[in-house]
Amino acid sequence: MITLKSPREIREMAKSGAILAGMHVGLREIIKPGISSWEIEKFALKYFKDQGAIPEQIGFEGYKYATCVSINDEICHGFPRKGLILKDGDLIKVDTVVNYHGAMSDSCWSYVVGKSTSEIDKLMNVTKKALYLGIDQAQVGNRIGDIGAAIQHYTEDINGYGDVRDFIGHGIGPTMHESPNVPHYGEVGKGLRLRPGMTITIEPMINIGTWKAEMDDPNGWTARTMDGSLSCQFEHTIAITTDGPKILTSQDLEFDKKYLLD
């Protein structure tokens, strides 16, 4: 079911999104060579508790953690691990969902540990730009396919990367995952028409190699690139409004100025 949010509900989701964004900003100082990926989980848990927010992923279909921490060829749903020590050049994706007094927000961000490479820098830049190209298509009257087509054209046709098909964006609020589905591939003019009050995630997962994923990890959750290539993801929660798409999980108020609620 698709739920249309009132301006008040969208403002409450923005409060939730600000907490989530603050956690991501804090991770910039936490993620460094020599720490375990479990330290990311510990930081997120404490941050959300201090803000009076609930990490909504815990208990979702049996998932045990506040965060997904996916590394290098892991596309998504990686577990935070005490024995996994981060090293220079690791590409980390941290995904989480926050519930703040019933208002939901969802965001994933990518980080490079220590020294980066030109290959990683390009992948991160292309993936982040793809996210914003998708957001720019999230206009009242456009269709879901317009979002996916913009992302797919930029990542695959222009840059030769793999645009993951197996995991997609979705509606959000008052529960974590709602209709509509928001693929990051598609055709212009196809799919559900976007209406004011819809709140969705746009979360492209982009691989250096093939778009195909392997989902045979013994933990039953983690997906990896089929060819072992690096994968990157950026995700925002946005609201569809008559004044354009509004980012509810912004980490940079200046960069996102034109996408913010008044």
Continuous segment of H or E residues that includes residue 100: strand 91-100
170 is in an annotated binding site: yes
The CA radius of gyration of the chain, in Å to the nearest whole number, is 17
CA–CA gap between residue 261 and residue 150 (Å, rounded): 24
236 is in an annotated binding site: no
Whether the CB-CB separation of 209 and 75 falls below 8 Å is answered with no
Report residue 91 as tokens: 């590409």
Torsion of CA 205, 238, 177, 64, to 10 degrees: 70
56 is in an annotated binding site: no
CA–CA gap between residue 107 and residue 202 (Å, rounded): 9
Whether the CB-CB separation of 115 and 238 falls below 8 Å is answered with no
Of 89, 90, 84, 88, give the one whose Cα is nearest residue 71.
Answer: 90
Whether the CB-CB separation of 196 and 20 falls below 8 Å is answered with no
Whether the CB-CB separation of 164 and 213 falls below 8 Å is answered with yes
Distances (CA, A) of 153 to 134, 204, 233: 11, 12, 17
203 is in an annotated binding site: yes
Binding residues for a divalent metal cation: 95, 106, 170, 203, 235
Binding residues: 77, 95, 106, 170, 177, 203, 235
Binding residues for substrate: 77, 177
